[in-house]
Structure formats: structure tokens, C-alpha cells
Structure 1
Amino acid sequence: MKKVILALGVSALAVSLNADKSYADSSAVVDVSALNVRSGPSLNYSKIGVVYRGSSLNVIETQGEWSHVELNNGSKGWVYSSYIKKSGSTSDNSTTYDTGVVNVSYVNVRSGAGNQYSVKTVASYGTKVTLLNKSGGWCNVKLSNGTTGWIYQKYIDFGKNSETNNNNNNTSNEFNSCNGKVTCYANLNVRSGPSTSYSIKTKLTYGQVVKLIDKSNGWYKVSLSNGITGWVKDDYIKITTEDVTNTGGSGNNSTSYRSAVVNLAYSLLGTPYAWGGNGPNYFDCSGFTRYVYLHAEGKSIPRVSYQQAEIGTFISRGNYLPGDLLYFATTGTGKTSHVGIYVGNNMFIHASGSASNPDKVKLSSLEGYYGRVLLGARRF
């Protein structure tokens, strides 16, 4: 008898969820033929009912790609956010929501409202977005290609459109000043105007961080710490929260030194591994690092990996810079048995392999295995 009553109760709930009532402008509307309502924000939670296209929902909160909603009968549950839209939206994709544009060079569009969520795509400066929802400083938006996702609110200017932000009269009043990091491995020209037809005033090196004060037609205007201003192509700049690099620096910690080390390391990608290889046609791990430091800036370091890990200045994790030597314990002994060169963005280049299983010079991440066996870093 209890099972019969329970079944009837679930059936009655499903019917009540589908009631087609009028809804206020602030409510959301089901935008698919049938939408499951679940007891929690995941497919792992049980289905507690179904609502159909046009049914009214009041969005209470969002969590990741899910919305906590209240139905017309007062019941509450979770639905997938991509399948609902604000009341008043029409089938031709017009909407009553606010629109805005991305105000930084590139920004990650994530699957949920937080940096811990995966990146679905990347939106560039001037991309027009439609606001769907907000949660904790994050905006759930829809891009012009139909992709939906979450962008941190400060990276969107609302009340503007892409045509206004991309015109040639773009001034620093329309551009939010921020820091940018050089991403190209060759020296980046700083020109007197936003075009290759203008003269070169100076050059930037890989990893250098500069102040961005304006943007025009695919070019950033930069302000350097030594007082020089000029224009660089936005293709080679990534928005960052890192501090501006002191362009007056010199010596082994300067960006020119680091750029030379990283550039040479990248140029050797794909070179075959061979035990005892010193280059340039074959390398083992320590032969590779020794070759790069010697030929990039004339720095002679020991030949063996554990000896390389004992010279220079120890650098704590989280403070690595491109060009630093990384050393690892890959044999299970806890002692240095492998080395590589850090190139930024949690990546490093190394000659991977062994005498019995040779590989090549390759780019690897410090996430996963190599992050677990990493012992430290040295700066020369």
C-alpha cells in the first residue's frame, strides 16, 4: 500500500510541475520540449518531476551549469541552466537581458561560476555577450555563436557593443587599464603607432609584463617602467595579474636572459633522446639543460643532473620564472634523477626518456606526475 501511495505521489508531482500558469517578467521559462527537475545540481541526483516548454520557473540560485528553481506550485528542484531562458525571450534568440562586451584581450569562458570550473572556450576583446544570470561576481553569458558559460564580471563592460569598442577612435577612457604578458618567443616590436607601418621604438622579450593603457584596431598601447610608450600587436599579449617587469633590469634575472634560454629550449623540441647525448643532434636530460644554458647565455653548469640541482639559488614553488632549472626524483629514491627548464604557465621543456626507452625533447606540464615528483627549482 505504501508503494502505491508513493507512486501516486510522484505521479501527482510530475503533473503539478507541468501546470501552465502565467509568469512574471523576472521568471525563467523552459526552452525545451521536456526538462527533468532533479533533487540536486547533477545528473547523479534523482528525478523528481518534469516541466515542459513554456512552463514558468523562478530561479533561486545557480551552481555551475545548474539552476535551483521554484515552480508555480511552490516545489523546488534543480534544472540544467542551458535549457531555460528569461521570460519574454523569443524563439529568434532576441532577449530582454543586458548585453555587453569583453574588455580584456582574452578571457576564459568557464562551465561554472568559479575558476575551479573547466574552460569551455575563450572570448577575445570586443566579443559581444548576452547576460543570462549572475552569481557571486560571475556572469552567465551567451556568446554570438550560441555558446553559454561563465565570465568574471569585471571582464565585461555592460551597456556597450562590439562596434563601439572596436572602432579606430578607441581611447583610453573606453579601455580598462591592466597588465599584459608577452607570449611570443621572439622579441616583440614596440612601435610608435598601432600598425606595422610605424617605426620601432624598442622591443619586448618573452615573459615581460607591461602596462596596457589603450587598444585600437588589434593593437595595445603599452607603458613601460622606463617611461617609453608605444604599440604592440595584441596577438602576442596575454592579460595577467602579475606585476610589471622592471625594464631597467640586467644580469641573469633579466627578461633578455630568460628569453634567450626559453627560445633556445623551444627551438630544440623534437630532438631525439640518447643516453649521454650532449647535443645538438641528441640529448639526455642533463645534457639538454647544460647545452641550453651554455649556448643561450654562456653559463657553464655541471653535466650531471644531481650536481645541477645543487648550484644556483633555490626557488620556492610558486615563484618560478621562465628559464629556471627544475629538478625531479623520477626513480623512487627521493633523489634528483631528472632535470628540465621551466618556460612558464606551469610547463617545462626536458629531454624525456631513458637508455632503454628513448623519447625526445618535449614540452610537459607540472600537473599530474611531474608535479608529484618535482623536488625544486634553481636560478642561475
Structure 2
Amino acid sequence: MIRKNDICKILAFVTVSSMTVSLFKYADVGASDDISLQSPVSSLEPVVVYEPEDIPVVYMPDEEKSDLRKDSVNIESNTLVVTADVDSSVELLDESTFTYDGTQCWVNANLANLRESPDVDSETVAQVEYATPLLRISYGTLWSKVRLDDGTEGFMLSSLLDTDEIEAPTPTPSPEPTATPTPELTQAPSTSSSSSASSSTETTSATEAQTEATPSYTETDYEAHLYASCDLNVRTGPGTSYSFVTVLTPGEGIDVVARTDNGWYRTSSGYYVKADLCSEEAPAPAAPAASEESSSSSESSSSSSASYSSAGDCSDFASYCTQFVGIPYVYGGASTSGFDCSGFVSYVYANYYGVSLPHDAAGIAECGTAVSMDNLQCGDVICHDYNNDGYIEHVSIYIGNGTYIHASDSRHGVITTSYAGGIATVRRFV
């Protein structure tokens, strides 16, 4: 049963609650129109998005178009947006941290600038035409360090290079300047001699340009059946700069149909082989060996004989190389005033064989044809990895009779030695 005391407490609570609620109508407790917990938009000052006015415009050379890319976003009301211009022509890496490549590339632009440093504002070293082959030494994020066939080095935008071979377009012969007379010839006779001289000069220049574009060799008919005197490289043209096709084994027959005045034979298949590496007589078959050791000795002897004939006269090549013994070691050197290891190899090949090699040990190891030490020949280049870390630290040249020559170090300079350690690969270029 509910007591009277409890009923009184309940009635008192209900009465007080009713009075409290009634007071909300007369007291300012947050419901007034004068107080708002959220400011209307009209009460805020308008936000002005900052738009920089004096940003300099960067003009790129025609063949180095690398437009500034702007990161864009949708600007909503009352939102501050900061935008940045990213110059896609600025190299982000230091040259010393570029990744080594050593890949043959071709220029894919009509005319590409070769620059002194990886920056479009740096000095132009040379202008390289479309389809020109070059060696990419290393590359960064946007630029590549390259070397031309004449040894000129510089930097070029990587977007202007292609690793797929590009064939140079055949030049369209231009009409003779004299075929279309110019108005000056009739209006100003006094200038006719100057105009004729100019036309003559242009004609001569055009003729010279066509002459330079034509390979500097001639072919004459010559039929013979010859034999490869060693592992003989077959190429698409009469020179080591032409593409490699295959390798003929010692004693393999070659049907020759023509010879060039720069020392190559054209075969019946249309490819070319080095004349010095061919023999008129088939190599004598190896005598049956009584043991594996004697067989190896016979093969070694046969390889040695082939190596001497492969250079025409190996002693002549050895004499040429040994004349540089004693020249000091100079880091980065590639002349008779001083060599480093790759500078010496590239100098010898350029001046003795007329073959252009990279002035870089690792680059040399990527060129030519790999051969085994068992088939070593005079003129082969030995690439050394002394630390066995996959990086080529040194290169030397084999000059026959178990002797190597190389630019050793700052204490010894160019020396000959009978020991070659840490051999990673052997490369053949002729």
C-alpha cells in the first residue's frame, strides 16, 4: 500500500518539473534568434584563392619539348588549394648516382641537343641527327649520359632515345640548283657570278655530303672457297660497326664472291667476314688424342696457331702494343701522355683496328662477342672482376704467347704480365 508520504513526494516532483519547463519560454537559454551555434555563410569573409602572376615561362628547344605539368584539383567553396609546378626537364639525381647502362641507342628526334650537363639551360655540346647511333653510358630520372662514335660525351633527354635500332632515311636527291634559274639572274646581271658561285658551292656541298654518306670502301669481284681460321664473326657489312649475324667455327667453309678495299670479303650469302681471319687451306684435322690432356694440348696449340693468323701477324700487334710499356697511369687518360685501363684498350683498338670501344671497363664487357679462355686469341680483351661482385674493375689485352698488356696502376703504368686473375669474361671485336 502506497503511503501518504510517498504520494506527496511524487506530486511535489511533478509540480517542480512543470514550473521549470514553463520558465524556458521566458529565459534566454540558447533558443533566442540572437544566438546561433552555426554562423551563416553570409557572415564569413569570402576566401580568395591565391593565384601567382609572375611565374616565368620556360621555353624548351623544339626537340626537347618537356612541358611543365600542373597538378590540378577541383576548387570547392571556402577551400584553400596550394598548387605546384613540376618541371619535368629537371634531373632529380646527381650524375654520380646515375644507373650504369651501356646500351646502344638511337636518336628518335629530327635533331637532338647533346648538352654539357643534365639541364636544358646548359651549354650545347653537339646537335645529333635522327637515327644516329650512340652509347648510353648511364641514366637518371629524365636524362641519360651518352657517348657518340667520335668519343664526344654529354647528356641528352632520355625521351629522345630509343633502344630499338632506327634506320636512317635515304636522302632524297635534290635537283640541280642550275635547273631552276632564279630571278636575280635576269634582274641583276652583276650578281650572276656571285649567284653562280653560290650555286656551285651548294652543289659541291651536296656532293660532298652524299659522298660522306656513302661507305668509304669499294668492292671488286673475287671468287674463292676459303676457310675460317678461328671463331669468325659474320657481319651485315664490311666493318665491325655493322650488325653481328653469327660465328663460324674454325675450318668452316666460306664461299667468297667479292672483296673490299678495306679488308673484308663478301660471302655468297651476302654477309661479310674479315679477310685476315680467312685461310685458303682447310685446317688439318686434329690427331686422335691418347688422353684428355693431350687433346686439350692439341686444341690449345690449334687455337694458338689460329690466333696468330687471325691478326695477320700477331707479333706485329704485340709490337704495336708493347711500344706503350712504361707510359704512366692517369685516371681517365686515353692518350700517350697517360692511360687508364679502359682508355688504353680503346686507344689500341681505335688506332690499330679502327674499332671504337667505350672508355669504360664495364661498357667494354658488354660489347663484342664472348669467347672462352680455351679459345683465346691475340687481340682479345680480358675483363676482370677481382672482387667477384659482378662489377668489371679492370680490362687488359691478350697479345699472344700467354702475355697480357694493360694500364696497371699509378705505380706501374702500362705493363705486360703472364698472369690474368679474376677473369669475368673475354670479349672479341675482330
Answer yes or no: same fold by TM over 0.5: no
Higher strand share: 1
TM-score (norm 2): 0.28
TM-score, with structure 1 as normaliser: 0.32
Which structure has greater helix proportion? 2
Q: Highest Rg: 1 or 2?
A: 2
